[in-house]
Structure 1
Amino acid sequence: MSTPIQLDIPFFAAPSAQVLTGGKTSAEALRRAQEQGLAKVVNLCPHSEDLGFDEPALAAELGLAYENIPIAGGGDLTRENAQRLAQAVADAGGPVLVHCMSSNRVGALFALKAHWLDGKSIDDALAEGRAHGLKAMEAGVRQLLER
């Protein structure tokens, strides 16, 4: 059995062996993750948020699949983006890192996916969101789920 991937990034969590979440990445963290078996990076930051390096180019150099689903704020927390996240994770072909700057948007989108696509109760969806990094956006996510 392989050792789970560990990353030195803010708010890192490993809700499962295949899904890793966290905040702002670094070039070095992605290199270490690729060495540990990471297959894909899903970045939820809009292009206006600077990571300090060219993440798509580095992912390509490292042979990692890469996808950007820009979530700038609450208006981007849509069923379409939850479906895009579900597909991105399903298509990863191995461990996937889903990140933004603080992991809050990551958790928000996973909570929406859990309720809207996976049929989980609101409370279970929010718990899943928290496991994936949901913090400050929880009240807004709850409102979306209760609609």
Structure 2
Amino acid sequence: MNAKIWLDIPNCCTPSDGLCTGGRPRPQDLRDAQAKGVRTVVNLCPPSEDPGYDEPALVRELGMRYVNIPIAGPADLTPENARKLAAVLTAADGAILVHCASGNRVGALFALKAHYVDGMPPAQAIAEGRAHGLKALEPAVRQILGA
């Protein structure tokens, strides 16, 4: 895909080429992401979590694709949402930024994707989640995965 993309966002992770995960980007971070080759922005925050600016409009204005998969908490950590994330990653043309407010929900959803979509056993899926930002939601993810 692309090289590693690091952005000045909270808890930034670069788990693989062309993928950046972390917390909520500011408008300038989105401009930087576009300049570094990001073509898709996936926001896991529900619309009720207002970032203080119109993120979807700015992403589109910058010529990038905007996707929202709302993850308000553990109840939204489902195989269905993991499959939605996998579909977006598969269809993406270019680098991707996946974010929530802190990066924790991002890591949780990547752990579920690793298990439900990629077939990883729970312990390996949790390690994958950690590489993508999983922290405080790890106990909930462990419970979901039966680990």
TM-score over 0.5 (shorter chain): yes
Identity fraction in percent = 58
1:12 matches 2:15: no
Shift of 1:3: 5.2
3-state secondary structure, aligned to 2:14? coil
Q: Give the TM-score of the pair, scaled to structure 2.
A: 0.96
Shift of 1:35: 0.6
Equivalent residues, number: 147
- Structure 2 residue aligned with 1:40: 40
Question: Separation in 2 of the partners of 1:138 and 1:110?
Answer: 12
Contact 2:3–2:18 (CA under 8 A) maintained in structure 1: no
1:59 maps to amino acid: V
Shift of 1:7: 0.5
Question: Separation in 2 of the partners of 1:143 and 1:71?
Answer: 17
**Cα RMSD over matched residues?**
1.5
- Structure 1 residue aligned with 2:30: 30
Contact 2:19–2:97 (CA under 8 A) maintained in structure 1: yes
- Which structure 2 segments of 5+ residues have no match? none
Residues 55-113 of structure 1: CA deviation (Å, up to 9, x unaligned): 10001110001100000011101111000000111111111000000111000000001
- Structure 2 residue aligned with 1:143: 143
- Structure 1 residue aligned with 2:87: 87
- Which structure 1 segments of 5+ residues have no match? none
Question: Separation in 1 of the partners of 2:67 and 2:135?
Answer: 23
Structural mapping, 1:58-137, within 5 Å: 58-137=58-137
1:116 maps to amino acid: Y
Question: Separation in 2 of the partners of 1:79 and 1:116?
Answer: 6
Q: Give the TM-score of the pair, scaled to structure 1.
A: 0.96
1:54 matches 2:48: no
Question: Separation in 1 of the partners of 2:14 and 2:4?
Answer: 8
Shift of 1:4: 2.9
